[in-house]
Every structure is written in structure tokens, then in C-alpha cells.
């Protein structure tokens, strides 16, 4: 029986855990300064069908980052548009890999969940460079859950 138990554990570990929207929202509510992302996420229906990649690495821009990137009207407009929210969040998601800051390689590009768009990891300090060349620094690193990892960043990542 003991042997069977070990086998079962091994088998379970081999199964790729799916993106879990409940867990995602829970994490966002426990972190400071990410209420804009939380608001955006709550506008999206069927999160699980949007973010199918697992494990994942999700970058969460702070509220200050959103304020710096958009004026009030732009932000309200953005937060009402599911298409825009889904694309923007997809660009903040590395699909299929859990990348801890200790695994960051300077200049390594990762495909994001947004088709054809990449972001690049930087080290010392750990950060992310987007398609426009802007650099986001990580303010809270390595918040891990079963299905992935979250990093809070100080800049909204933008693509062309
Ligand atoms: C999703 O996360 C919630 C909260 O952490 C947990 O209770 C639930 O079991 C998870 N669902 C799956 C399918 O793992
Ligand atoms: C949240 O933002 C405030 C104001 O910018 C800052 O003072 C505080 O350190 C931030 N908290 C975390 C956990 O980053
Ligand atoms: C959402 O934004 C897209 C891209 O900017 C735009 O084409 C679309 O009309 C917007 N949808 C709504 C409901 O405003
Ligand atoms: C995400 O990864 C999964 C599994 O590798 C793949 O099937 C899917 O096409 C990827 N999605 C995007 C948008 O790259």
C-alpha cells in the first residue's frame, strides 16, 4: 500500500495543473497595490478558457504603474473592454513555464501568451524588458502557487 501511495503521488505530479481562476483572484486579493489588475481580471468571464497555459509566469503591474501609463479616461475605457484587457494580460503571461527570479537569465526572451509577442528577462536587478524597450523592475518576487508564479512589477508592459 505504501508503494502504491508513492506511485499515486508521482502520477499526480505528472499531470499538468490547469490555470485556476479562483486561486488567481485569491492571490491578487492578498497582494498589495494590484487592485487595477484585480479589477481588470474581474471583468473577464471564463478566465480559465483564456489563460490555458500551465504552468505559468504572470507579471502583475502595480496600480502606480497603471496610473503612470494611462490617464484616468484611458484607464476607465481600458477596464471596460474585455478584448483589450485579455490582450494586455496575455502579454504579461509567460505560457507554459514557471520562471522564478532566481532562474532569470539576462537577455533571454520568452514567448508570452499573446501570439508572436515576447518579453525579455533581465538580472541585477531582476526585471522585464518589453517590446518597446521599456524596463519593469520587480517589486514583489516569486509568489508561487501550484500552477505557477506571480511577480509584481512597477511598469505596465507594452507591445507594438
Ligand atoms: C482552485 O483554487 C481554489 C482556491 O485555492 C481551490 O479551492 C480549488 O480546489 C482549486 N481548483 C482546482 C481544480 O485545483
Ligand atoms: C504599495 O504602494 C505604496 C505606495 O506606492 C508603497 O509605499 C508600498 O510600499 C507598496 N507596497 C508594496 C507591498 O509594494
Ligand atoms: C475594444 O477595443 C478594441 C481595440 O481597441 C476596439 O476595436 C473595440 O471596438 C473595443 N470594444 C468596445 C466594446 O469598446
Ligand atoms: C500555450 O501553451 C500551450 C501548451 O504548450 C499551447 O497549446 C498553446 O497554444 C499556447 N498558447 C499560446 C497563446 O501561445
pTM here is 0.86
Mutual orientation of helices 82-91 and 72-79 as an angle, nearest 10°?
100
Residues 6+ apart with CB under 8 A from 127: 121, 135, 136, 137, 138, 153
Mean per-residue pLDDT over the chain, rounded = 87
Q: How confident is the model at residue 22 (pLDDT cuts 50, 70, 90)?
A: confident
Q: State yes or no: cis peptide before 106, omega within 30 of 0.
A: no
Residue 81 is predicted with a pLDDT of: 93
Residue 149, beta-bridge partner list: 57, 144
If you take atom 11 of ligand 3, which residue's CA is the nearest one?
Answer: 81
- Domains in the chain, start-ordered, CATH in brackets? 14-153 (2.30.180.10)
pLDDT tens-place string over residues 63-111: 999 999 999 999 999 999 999 999 999 999 998 899 999 999 999 999 9
Residue 24 is predicted with a pLDDT of: 86
Determine the distance separating the centroid of ligand 4 and the alpha carbon of 10, expressed in angstroms. Answer: 24
Amino acid at each position: 500500500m505504501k508503494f502504491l501511495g508513492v506511485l499515486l503521488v508521482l502520477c499526480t505530479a505528472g499531470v499538468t495543473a490547469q490555470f485556476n481562476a479562483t486561486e488567481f483572484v485569491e492571490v491578487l486579493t492578498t497582494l498589495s497595490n494590484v487592485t487595477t489588475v484585480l479589477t481588470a481580471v474581474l471583468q473577464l468571464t471564463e478566465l480559465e478558457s483564456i489563460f490555458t497555459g500551465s504552468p505559468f509566469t504572470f507579471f502583475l503591474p502595480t496600480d502606480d504603474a497603471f496610473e503612470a501609463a494611462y490617464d484616468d479616461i484611458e484607464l476607465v475605457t481600458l477596464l471596460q473592454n474585455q478584448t483589450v484587457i485579455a490582450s494586455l494580460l496575455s502579454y504579461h503571461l509567460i505560457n507554459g513555464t514557471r520562471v522564478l527570479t532566481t532562474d532569470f537569465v539576462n537577455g533571454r526572451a520568452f514567448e508570452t501568451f499573446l501570439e508572436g509577442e515576447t518579453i525579455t528577462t533581465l538580472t541585477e536587478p531582476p526585471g522585464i524588458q518589453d517590446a518597446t524597450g521599456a524596463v519593469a523592475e520587480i517589486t514583489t518576487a516569486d509568489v508561487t502557487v501550484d500552477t505557477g508564479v506571480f511577480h509584481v512589477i512597477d511598469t505596465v508592459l507594452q507591445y507594438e
